[in-house]
Structure 1
Amino acid sequence: MNKVLLFNPRSANNTFRIPNSILNIAASIENRYEWVIVDGNRETNPQQTILDYLATGQFKYLGFTVMPGPQLRQAIPIAKAVKEQFKNTTMIWGGYFPSNHSKVVLDSGYVDFIVNGPGDNCFPKLLDALERFEPYEFLKNLIYKTNGKIVKTAKEDLIDQDSLPPLPYHQLNRFYPMEKYLGKTFLGDRTFAYHSSIGCPFTCSFCAVVPIYEARWKAKSAITVYNDVKYIKEKWGADAIEFHDNNFFVSEKRVVDFSGMVKNDNMTWWGMARIDTMDKFKDASLAAIREAGCKIIFFGAESGNDKVLAQMDKGGTQTGEQIIRFAERMKKFDIIPEYSFVLGTPAPTQAEVQEQIDFDINFIKQVKHANPNTEIVIYTYSPVPTEGSEMFEEVIKSGFAFPEKLEDWISPAWESFDLRKNPLTPWLTADMIDKIRNFETVLNGLYPTVTDIRLSLLKRKAIKLMAGLRYKANLFDYPYEIKLLQKVWKYRQPEIQGF
């Protein structure tokens, strides 16, 4: 059989994480097809490495995992180079970007198939069909182009996660020593990235997860998660875990059961949650989670404006009042709440957009007053093609459009769009974007993130002193002195660079 090359494009410059998505695909074909992994985070010239593999004549299938943002910078030119030099290779992309933007990906001519969501069944079945010259039209979770038309097959039910094979870490170690994947972070000296579930049971209209999973969620059991964590600790020496689930805390029972199992293993960990979900957790559950090593939790606060929360279709009971109350509640358990806010959502007039931005800037200050330890992450609203949502329909009516050519996605402007820093939306003016970014600069000056482990106490005091007067007086314009220090000291922004 032809061999398979799996590519994880670069996503970060300094911090390496286990390429879980592509490793999950490797697990699905383990003992069925020979495979290799090329990790763009660990290669100085991944394109040449890939071309060298293809030059052997043994590899016909290439699987790329592609998230919006930095991964496109490698994925697009490398895919183009591969197709120019090795026309008979079969290119298969998976991940949020190709699933949400399938037309522009397939129209490029570089990509032959898209795995639309989990590929645990779709990917190996597609390889089998191609190897045997059999039909693939009835495979689920597949998008492809035929006779000039895009074909999107039916979605598969989410697989029982406990039934999946374990990730082949030992095989990854053959290509790249595992030690480099266990980095020093705020959580620990040897931090490991792990997925314990897929999907999310909610339908937020600004979230790229929603079109893929359609409000579905499946998780590994607490005992499976614990056994994996214990293996990672004993085999690879991990002392901290980043749970990269879209929503780790959906089930109170699962999290509490896991906490009871891991509490004596001296592991520190982080995960993502919803405020209105965890606000229903018992005090005893939150205490158990903290005792088990949970140090910080990422929450999508998004806005303190109840009208905007409804516009975003948060899919629950979250309110501005609850956001502040829950931040205050978390002080009791010594768990750091990491709140993300999305500013610049669409509105009928620019005056209303500006009012919303001003409202949330003041609201963020209220959150910090209630619990100064709350980490604040600020995004600017970037549209996601969520078909059927009122918010996206409003976006389209405004005249916004995504790039029609794949190469345009790696222009500086659209890369900023993917990072949710400069969304290119018609209802936002340059002054509005400047106000958001300048407020963020001052806020990060007065409250430097605890996750930046390189920022010394002396540097923290110096930048806090500079930002304090601006913050109290609401003087956010032209904070050049703070930006200069952040640039010189290489201040880490967790929303872009992680921990």
Structure 2
Amino acid sequence: MKNKILLFNPVSAKWKHRIPNSILQIGASIHNKFEYVFVDGNLEKDCWNKIVSYLNSGEYKYLAVTVMPGMQLRQAIPFSKRVRELFPNIKIIWGGYFPSNQYKVCLESGFVDFIINGPGDEAFPQLIDALEKNNDYSQILNLIFRKENQIIKTPKADLFEQDKLPALPYEYLNKFYPIEKYLGKTFLGKRTAAYHSSVGCPFTCSFCAVVPIYEARWKGKSAKKIYQDLMHLKENYSIDAVEFHDNNFFVSEKRTVEFSELINNQNINWWGEGRIDTIDKYKDDSLQLMQQAGCKMIFFGAETGNDSILKQMDKGGTQSRAQIISFAARLRKFKIIPEYSFVLGLPADDEKKVFNQINDDIDFIREIKSVNPDTEIIIYVYSPVPTEGSDLYEQVTDAGFKFPEKLEDWLSPDWENFDLRKNPLTPWLKPYMIDRIKNFETVLNGYFPTISDYKLTSFQRKVIRFFSSWRYKSKFYYLPYEIKVLQRFWLKYRQPEIEGFYSE
């Protein structure tokens, strides 16, 4: 048979490899319909030769690649290009946030034939079926492609009922890569699984890469379905923790409560992503139940302490500086750790305003720590996303920012760091501002080693905190080399460039 499909997950992390749910989801959509194999760059010693070994058989007609911004581009771009050169008849299909948001530069590269623009549960098998039968594919929803030098972007499909989607083929993946390889130790547990319980997000934050793809839509699995899936993973692979990698797990309090009631007493700890202004509306009884049922930490986009910037970010119109502070204090009562992310370095009228706002947010983070020292802080530098039509995106383009015009330019270290929100390449941010942010971050994480740093011994925590103490208390963040040396050897707090972590 010469119509097999190779599903490729490029390397996305130096360690802490998670279950590759993106290619598992596509695998589920074609299971028992087409023959396919998995290749996971995270677990292959020689990923390229593994791909070539399959393609040399002459049995494969399609290469499907999931591409998140940042690290995955290191393999996705050169490997796709080489496949086009060596196997010109193979159709190359990309999916994921990067090609959906940067579709023009992808399709103009000459080695990406189709882009799945959003969920591929129906679009992918329909595309393969159309290509196999030589049928018209221009009416398939969630698809982007070139036709006669013109880019065609088909309409978005309605979000599917998540409970009706086929089960993920864990057992089939296990034939290629032992599931145990994906169940690493975290602060949550010894065998932590990654899981998606929903797609999309009902909000329209102007800096978020999810917005152009899902257009303020959200659809979740039922609490019962989530519970059944996790029990399958527990019974078959002995998981004791789960990270919910939804864009917004906590949209529905009713669903969250139902899930907590089901998972309670199952000894599974969990983490998820949510919004402050959503969960702050939860009843105290709901929060207490969540904690009892294993919820240890929740990731929130706090973003900034400036109310006018929060409004500019389109944070739903309800999140405020006061609420961010009070909510951190509220969660402390329930022993749920708030993990607050901040986006520093948004554009302003002049250089001084940008720097002053950075310093204001640094002071705001310190205020949060004084209210709830257990709050974990993740700092990003603002990186524009192509949310065309938003006031913020128009402002950054007017300031002279533009994305690379060639796909291979994304392989440069600067643009990779841009994707990880660590080096913005934006004209209004100066090197001394970036240094200010990074140096503060170093001191902050030295003075407050967090629960995520589960490998640190009590002695190591005391040493790092000792060397960071005078800097944090005096607000002297300049050139904290002594802390960086200790962090290099001991501290593994969650950072995008370390774990390949990318969140919106």
Give yes or no for TM over 0.5: yes
Instruction: State how far apart, in whole Å, the 1-side matches of 2:476 and 2:16 are.
Output: 34
Matched AA of 1:195? H
Identity among equivalent positions (%) equals 62
Aligned to 1:125: 126
CA–CA distance in structure 1, aligned partners of residues 295 and 494 of structure 2: 21
Equivalent residue number for residue 403 of structure 1:
404
Instruction: Quote the residue 1:98 is aligned against.
Output: 99
- Contact preservation (8 Å) 1:408, 1:414: yes
Residue 166 of structure 1: aligned partner: 167
Change (3 A) 1:254 1:346: same
Deviates more, 1:27-36 or 1:142-151: 142-151
For residues 120 and 196 of structure 1, the distance between their equivalents in structure 2, rounded to whole angstroms, comes to 15
How far apart, CA to CA, are the structure 2 residues paired with 1:339 and 1:13?
23
Which residue is 2:284 aligned to?
283
Q: Provide the residue aligned with 1:223 in structure 2.
A: 224
Distance 2:492 2:121 in 1: 38
Equivalent-residue separation in structure 2 for 1:468 and 1:498 (angstroms): 29
The separation in 2 between residues aligned to 1:344 and 1:437, in whole angstroms, is 12
Deviations along 1:46-68, one digit per CA (max 9) or x if unpaired, are: 11111110000111011100000
Distance 1:115 1:42 in 2: 25
Deviation at 1:184, TM superposition (A): 0.7
Whether the 8 Å contact between 2:71 and 2:500 is mirrored in structure 1 is: no
Q: Which moved more, 1:42-51 or 1:360-369?
A: 42-51
Indicate the SS of the match to 1:154.
Answer: coil
Structure 1 residue 423, shift from structure 2 partner: 0.4
CA deviation after TM superposition for structure 1 residue 490, in Å: 5.1
Structure 1: distance between partners of 2:496 and 2:115: 27
Match status 1:182 vs 2:187:
no
Q: TM-score, normalised by structure 2?
A: 0.98
Aligned match of 2:265? 264
Q: Which moved more, 1:369-378 or 1:345-354?
A: 345-354
- 1:192-225 CA distances to partner (integer Å, 9 max, x unpaired)? 0000000000000111100100000000000000
Letter of the structure 2 residue corresponding to residue 118 of structure 1: P
Q: How far apart are the structure 1 equivalents of 2:161 and 2:30? A: 18
- CA drift at 1:316: 3.7
1:198 alignment partner in structure 2: 199
Aligned twin of 1:344: 345
Q: Give 1:190's aligned amino acid.
A: R
Query: Map of 1:37-436 to 2, 5 A cutoff?
Result: 37-436=38-437
**Amino acid in structure 1 at the alignment position of 2:52:** L
Q: Report the CA distance between 1:113 and its aligned residue.
A: 0.1
Deviations 1:177-200 (A, max 9, x none): 111111111100000000000000
**Where in structure 1 do 4 or more consecutive aligned residues deviate above 4 Å?**
none
Q: Following TM superposition, by how much is the alpha carbon of 1:498 offset from its aligned partner in structure 2, in angstroms? A: 7.0
Which digits, 9 at most, give the CA deviation of each residue in 1:86-125, with x for residues without a partner? 0000000000000000011111111000000000000000
Amino acid at match of 1:182: L
Task: Tell me the CA shift for residue 325 of structure 1.
Answer: 0.2
1:70 aligned counterpart, secondary structure: coil
Counterpart contact for 2:190–2:240, Cα < 8 Å = yes
Q: Please tell me whether the aligned partners of residues 276 and 316 of structure 1 are also in contact (alpha carbons under 8 angstroms).
A: no
> Partners in 2 of 1:252 and 1:198 — Cα distance?
16
- Give, as a single letter, the amino acid of the residue that structure 2 aligns with 1:436: I
Structure 1-normalised TM-score?
0.99
- Contact 2:12–2:500 (8 Å) recurs in 1: no
- The CA RMSD measured in Å over matched residues stands at 1.0
Unaligned residue ranges in structure 1 (runs of 5+): none
Secondary structure, counterpart of 2:219 in structure 1:
strand
Deviates more, 1:371-380 or 1:486-495: 486-495
SS of 2:387's equivalent in the other structure is: coil
Instruction: Quickly say closer, same or farther: Cα 1:265–1:200, change in 2 above 3 A.
Output: same
C-alpha displacement of 1:176? 0.4
Q: Residue 372 of structure 1: SS of its match in structure 2?
A: coil
Rounded to whole Å, the distance in 2 between the matches of 1:294 and 1:490 is 24
SS in 1 for 2:374: coil
Once the two structures are superposed, residues 309-355 of structure 1 have per-residue CA deviations (whole angstroms, 9 ceiling, x without a partner) of 01111124000000000000011100000000000011111111111
The separation in 2 between residues aligned to 1:37 and 1:242, in whole angstroms, is: 22
Instruction: Give the counterpart letter for 1:303 in structure 2.
Output: T
State the secondary structure of the residue aligned to 2:72.
helix
Partners of 2:129 and 2:252 in 1: how far apart? Answer: 37
Counterpart for residue 7 of structure 2: 6
Structure-2 separation of matches of 1:490 and 1:86: 44
Distance, in Å, in 2 between the alignment partners of 1:210 and 1:93 is: 19
Aligned partner of 1:27: which letter? A
Secondary structure of 1:285's counterpart equals: helix
Separation in structure 2 between the aligned mates of residue 105 and residue 320 of structure 1, nearest angstrom: 39
Task: Indicate the SS of the match to 1:326.
Answer: helix
Q: Deviation per CA, 1:433-460: give whole Å up to 9, x if none.
A: 1000000000011012211222221111
Hey, what's the Cα distance between the residues in 2 that align with 1:490 and 1:46?
30
Q: Deviations over 1:393-423 (max 9, x none)?
A: 0010011111111111011111110111110
Aligned partner letter, 1:361: I
Residue 111 of structure 1 aligns to a residue whose secondary structure is: coil
Please tell me whether the aligned partners of residues 453 and 491 of structure 2 are also in contact (alpha carbons under 8 angstroms): no
The separation in 1 between residues aligned to 2:448 and 2:49, in whole angstroms, is 43
Quote the residue 2:475 is aligned against: 474
Q: Deviations over 1:32-85 (max 9, x none)?
A: 000000000010111111111000011101110000000001111110111110
| Post-superposition offset of 1:258 | 0.4
Contact 1:377–1:495 under 8 Å retained in 2: no
Aligned equivalents of 1:109, 1:455: Cα separation in 2: 48
Give the Å deviation of 1:387. 1.1
Output the amino acid matched with 2:322: E
State the Cα distance separating 1:287 from its structure 2 match. Answer: 0.3
Judge which range, 90-99 or 307-316, deviates more: 307-316
CA distance in 2, matches of 1:448, 1:51: 44
Question: How far does the alpha carbon of each residue in 1:223-276 deviate from its partner, in whole angstroms, 9 at most, with x for none?
Answer: 000000111101110000000000000000000000000001110000000000
Matched-pair contact (CA < 8 Å) for 1:207–1:384: yes
- For 2:418 and 2:230, locate their aligned partners in 1 and report how far apart those are by CA, in whole Å: 35
Q: Does structure 1 conserve the Cα–Cα contact (< 8 Å) formed by 2:311 and 2:317?
A: no
Q: Are 2:45 and 1:29 aligned?
A: no
